[in-house]
């Protein structure tokens, strides 16, 4: 579909567009720029994997004794002043970087630093620590930032196809041998071999498994990840890959409208059910349109469909444990 055709479809929906309440990201249009302040504590700890292994992580956390992987989702508007205070509780040196936007410089062990920047072009960004190449990002120091167009609540960029609600899907993959080496201050020397795969920091759980259907632990129902909508609730998904492994993102039910690839606006909006996502900070923005699935008869207006990744190992944990990987569900309500 050409963008021109698409915009016609999109503009019909504007009158009824509302800011969604089911997605985690809620956003109201604002006439004036604001100052957004946030404090991140650089912390570490272990997280228990589905096979029982405790793996070391570092994160940008919302409290000094917490460990958030990924860090909290930031949502700002073009022109906003964003002020981030970093409190490094560790004895290693870290930083806070948004490529092309801000670089805190080194924050030594036990030090704090406040960085300030003006949010520029609308779009989806990853914040991360690039102090030690990719290693701190892989250890968990990453998160997503959405910059909304000035004065807009239903566009990805000015003039984009519109949506009524938005989510982040931040994927990650974990090689425990690398995490262990980095914990001990050494450089990983083994070939990278991811054993665990997460969506917004959580693993899926198959039916009947401990934690299944618990929104605190199960990526299938985590309100940050599972899409909920009625027919017509066009949903923006900001997809980021903090891991190292390239992935293939597949939605069932509807195709995705593919708006951007690695921060670049696509010249035409294609509808795709499967999209390639680069490893090492690949990024996609898509709209899941919540249309009645075109081949269904009688028309299916309710039901649940999976989103999964098409590399088989990403659906597993610990070299087995099927369905303990990076997947979630899409609920037509
Ligand atoms: Cu599939």
Taking the centre of ligand 1 as the mean of its atom positions, its distance from the CA of residue 224, in whole angstroms, is 21
199-230 pLDDT tens trace:
999 999 999 999 999 999 999 999 999 999 99
Distance 42 CA to ligand 1 centre (A): 36
Considering the domain boundaries, does residue 157 fall inside one? no
Given 148, 177, 212, which residue is the final one in a domain? Answer: 148
Q: Which of 29, 38, 70, 53 is nearest to 317 (CA)?
A: 53
pLDDT tens digits for range 13-31:
332 222 333 345 777 788 8
Task: Examine the domain organization and report whether 143 and 169 are in the same domain.
Answer: no
Same domain, 198 and 279: yes
Please check whether residue 309 lies inside any domain of the structure. Answer: yes
**Residues 324 and 269 placed together within one structural domain of the fold:** yes
Among 302, 326, 301, 298, smallest CA distance to 312 is for: 326
310 in the same domain as 192: yes
User: Which stretches does DSSP call E strand in 233-311?
Assistant: 235-241, 247-251, 256-261, 264-272, 274-277, 283-288, 303-309
Residues 128 and 223 grouped into a single domain: no
* pLDDT averaged over every residue in the chain: 92
Asked whether residue 17 is domain-assigned, the answer is no
- Please give the tally of structural domains in the chain: 2
Distance 95 CA to ligand 1 centre (A): 37
| Nearest residue to 127 (alpha-carbon basis) of 142, 112, 138, 116 | 142
- Gap between the Cα atoms of 19 and 63, Å rounded: 29
Same domain, 140 and 208: no
Shared domain for 77 and 169, answered yes or no, is no
Contact 170, 72 (CB under 8 A): no
What is the whole-number distance in angstroms between the Cα of residue 294 and the centre of ligand 1?
Answer: 17
Does 96 map to a domain? Answer: yes
Judge if 189 and 285 occupy the same domain: yes
Query: What are the residues facing 150 on neighbouring strands?
Result: none
Q: Are residues 316 and 177 in the same domain?
A: yes
Q: Are residues 196 and 318 in the same domain?
A: yes
Final residue belonging to a domain, choices 84, 114, 148: 148
* Cα–ligand 1 centroid distance for 279 (angstroms): 19
Q: Averaged over 28-38, what is the pLDDT?
A: 89
- Calculate how far, in angstroms, residue 156's C-alpha sits from the geometric centre of ligand 1: 26
The answer to whether 233 and 262 have CB atoms below 8 angstroms apart is: no
Same domain as 319, residue 203: yes
- pTM confidence score: 0.92
Q: Pick from 262, 260, 11, 12: which is nearest to 156 by CA?
A: 260
Q: Find the 268 Cα to ligand 1 centroid distance in Å.
A: 24
Instruction: Identify the CATH number of the domain in which residue 42 sits.
Output: 2.60.40.420
Residue 94 Cα to ligand 1 midpoint, Å, equals 38
Q: What is the Cβ-side half-sphere exposure of residue 133, based on CA atoms within 13 angstroms?
A: 5
Query: What is the domain extent for residue 67?
Result: 30-148
> Which one of 148, 177, 196 terminates a domain?
148
Kindly report, residue by residue over 234-272, the tens digit of the pLDDT: 999 999 999 999 999 999 999 999 999 999 999 999 999
User: Within a domain: residue 7?
Assistant: no
Claim to verify: residue 98 and residue 172 sit in the same structural domain: no
Secondary structure (3-state) at 250: strand
């Amino acid at each position: 579909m050409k963008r021109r055709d698409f915009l016609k479809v999109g503009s019909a929906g504007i009158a009824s567009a509302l800011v969604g309440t089911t997605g985690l990201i809620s956003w109201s249009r604002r006439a004036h720029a604001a100052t957004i302040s946030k404090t991140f504590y650089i912390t570490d700890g272990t997280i228990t994997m589905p096979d029982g292994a405790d793996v070391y992580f570092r994160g940008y956390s919302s409290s000094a004794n917490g460990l958030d992987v990924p860090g909290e989702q930031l949502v700002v508007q073009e022109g906003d002043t964003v002020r981030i205070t970093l409190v490094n509780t560790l004895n290693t040196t870290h930083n806070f970087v948004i490529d092309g936007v801000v670089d805190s410089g080194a924050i030594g062990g036990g030090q704090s630093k406040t960085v300030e920047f003006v949010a520029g072009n609308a779009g989806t960004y990853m914040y991360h620590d690039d102090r030690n190449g990719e290693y701190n990002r892989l250890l968990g120091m990453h998160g997503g930032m959405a910059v909304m167009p000035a004065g807009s609540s239903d566009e990805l960029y000015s003039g984009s196809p519109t949506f009524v609600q938005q989510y982040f899907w931040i994927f990650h993959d974990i090689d425990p041998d690398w995490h262990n080496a980095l914990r001990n201050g050494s450089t990983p020397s083994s070939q990278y071999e991811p054993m665990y795969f997460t969506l917004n920091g959580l693993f899926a759980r198959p039916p009947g498994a401990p934690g299944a259907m618990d929104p605190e632990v199960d990526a299938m129902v985590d309100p940050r990840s599972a899409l909920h909508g009625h027919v017509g609730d066009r949903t923006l998904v900001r997809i980021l890959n903090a891991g190292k492994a390239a992935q293939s993102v597949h939605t069932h039910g509807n195709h995705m409208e593919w708006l951007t690839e690695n921060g670049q606006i696509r010249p035409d909006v294609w509808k795709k059910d499967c999209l390639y996502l680069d490893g090492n900070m690949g990024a996609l923005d898509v709209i899941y349109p919540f249309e009645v699935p075109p081949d269904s008869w009688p028309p299916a207006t309710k039901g649940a469909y999976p989103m999964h990744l098409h590399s088989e190992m990403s659906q597993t944990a610990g070299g087995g444990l099927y369905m303990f990987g990076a997947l979630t569900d899409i609920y037509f309500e």
